[in-house]
Amino acid sequence: MLKGKIALITGATSGIGKATAFAFAKEGCNLILTGRRTERLTEVGEEIKKRFKTDYIALPLDVRDRQAVNAAINGLPEFWQSIDILVNNAGLARGLSKIHEGDVDDWEQMIDTNIKGLLYATRAVVPGMVKRGRGDVVNIGSIAGHEVYPGGNVYCATKHAVDALTKGLRIDLVDTPIRVSSVDPGMVETEFSIVRFKGDVERAKNVYKGFQPLTAEDIAETILFIVTRPPHVQIADVIIFPTAQASGMIVHRAD
């Protein structure tokens, strides 16, 4: 069902974005891979090409840079302009401080990446989908978009914004064949906590201690399921937890 299609994945250098690139390529999808770490984009792309014989193009960019996003997408070679699937995955948490002790630079990075970056990519890609009369947009939200936990403040606010933007886009596109979905995971072990704790690998490991977290591949499978439904089926939102997690805050850990 994805054979010969083109998907643009933001944040394809790691975690959920990278796993989604592999899951799509396995089904024959061509990939536009974006992220800031150029070398990793090429590594992922070359491995995909070798294993699955599909094609890729690497677009090194920072989603916070509106001009860069527009220039990269508008400057795609003709073949690559017909994007069928946009996965708005690039995102991050920085810190876990109380608001009154928070780092304003961290807040700006989360707001600029998780909200504005998602909007820039959407604004650049969706007009082409509307013109072609086909397309899927999958936004990666979070359980943090449905609940708030201690120290989650600004990150949770950005993911609540993703939830609102997903719903808003779905309303705005209701008179088109384009489908808009979100996937909202609980705890997935990726580089997410290493980034949140600014390179403190030990602290990041502790987040997933005593239970089996989700993997990036678990989420990629769900994204693949969403974009391979028949055209009349639009999955609005999927919340996914590890079995040992019951809500944003409740996780059962072995002693």
Catalytic residues: 155, 159
Q: What span, in angstroms and rounded, lies between the C-alpha atoms of 219 and 184?
A: 9
Under rule CB under 6 A, residue 25 binds ligand 8X3: no
15 binds, among ligand NDP, ligand 8X3, none (CB under 5 to 8 A by kind): ligand NDP
Q: Is 142 in the site for ligand 8X3 (CB under 6 A)?
A: yes
User: Residue 2 interacts with ligand 8X3 (CB under 6 A)?
Assistant: no
Binding ligand 8X3 by CB under 6 A: which of 32, 143, 216, 224? Answer: 143
Q: Which of 83, 178, 248, 251 binds ligand 8X3 (CB under 6 A)?
A: 248
Binding mask 182-221 for ligand 8X3 (x = CB under 6 A): ----xx----------------------------------
Q: In terms of CB distance, is 27 or 43 closer to ligand NDP?
A: 43
Residue whose C-alpha is closest to residue 138's, from 214, 213, 225: 225
| Contact partner at residue 89 from ligand NDP, ligand 8X3, none, CB < 5 to 8 Å by partner kind | ligand NDP
Q: For CA atoms 4, 230, 181, 168, give the dihedral sign.
A: positive
Residues 73, 125: contact at Cβ < 8 Å? yes
Token couple for 30: 């061509």
**Can you tell me whether residue 133 is helix, strand or coil?**
coil
Q: Rounded CA gap, 2 and 196, in Å?
A: 34
Binding site for ligand NDP (CB under 6 A): 10-17, 35-37, 62-64, 89-92, 113, 117, 140, 142, 185, 187-188, 190-192, 195, 216
Alpha-carbon distances of 24 from 83, 150, 250, rounded to whole Å: 14, 36, 32
Residue 17 near ligand 8X3 by CB under 6 A: no
Give which of ligand 8X3, ligand NDP, none residue 248 binds (C-beta under 5 to 8 Å, depending on kind). Answer: ligand 8X3
Taking the CA of residue 107 as centre, how many other CA atoms within 13 Å lie in the half-sphere pointing to its CB? 12
Q: Is 65 helix (H, G, I), strand (E, B) or coil?
A: coil
Q: β-strands 179-185, 56-60: how paired?
A: unpaired
Cα dihedral 4/7/11/15 (nearest 10): -60
Q: How far is the CB of 182 from ligand 8X3 (least distance, A)?
A: 12
Return the one option of ligand 8X3, ligand NDP, none that residue 17 interacts with (CB less than 5 to 8 A, by type).
Answer: ligand NDP
Query: Rg of the chain over CA atoms, in angstroms?
Result: 18
Give the interface with ligand 8X3 as residue ranges (CB under 6 A): 142-144, 152, 186-187, 248
